[in-house]
Amino acid sequence: MTTWWWIRHGPTHASGLVGATDLPADLSDRFALARLDLHLPDDALLVSSDLCRSITTADAIQRQRTRLEHAPEIREINFGDWEGKTFDQAVALHPEIAHSYWRNPGDIAPPGGETWNQASDRVEGFVQSMNRAYPNAHIIGVAHFAVILTQLQRATRISARSALSFRIDNLSVTRLEFLGPGWQVHAVNHIP
């Protein structure tokens, strides 16, 4: 049984869509970071995406935990031409694509970006390789909103649209256990 402790990185305070854009995290809330750190297992492996907002969040909770190489596979979904734009701006640029992208996430991509299914498969490949490499381990994955939701979707076998209805706050914990043939969900968006 491999236990995943998914952490969403610290806030960026950006008002638009932030996917592949490499924005820093605001880690000034030391009390929130300390509570998060105390909530996580001390003997866990720690991996983050290769975007700086995840790297610095992982740095803030590392302590004695074994740090693994940054993983580009758990980057946020790439919004392509919509990066940095608000939802309304994306709709103004590509009305039909934008509405379909959010109503029926799956195989629709923003221009220059990736689909939900592409991002989900990318993350899933990494997670499964980690499950094989580290059976029975605790793994803290510091990643992003859509990354965490793709794993919640797979664990619960819900649709992508249903997964998008969940809230994943910055510095929250979503804990999933891989049991071999399936998953068990222990916490979603828990704020320690």
* Cβ-Cβ contacts under 8 Å for 70 (sequence gap 6 or more): 47, 48, 49, 50, 54, 55
**What does the pLDDT look like over 84-107, one tens digit per residue?**
999 999 999 999 999 999 999 999
pLDDT-based confidence at 119, cuts 50/70/90?
Answer: very high
Q: pLDDT averaged over the chain? A: 97
CATH code of the domain covering residue 29: 3.40.50.1240
Counted domains in the chain: 1
| β-sheet bridge partners, residue 190 | 173
- Domain span at 88: 2-190
| pTM attached to this predicted model | 0.96
What does the pLDDT read at residue 139? 98
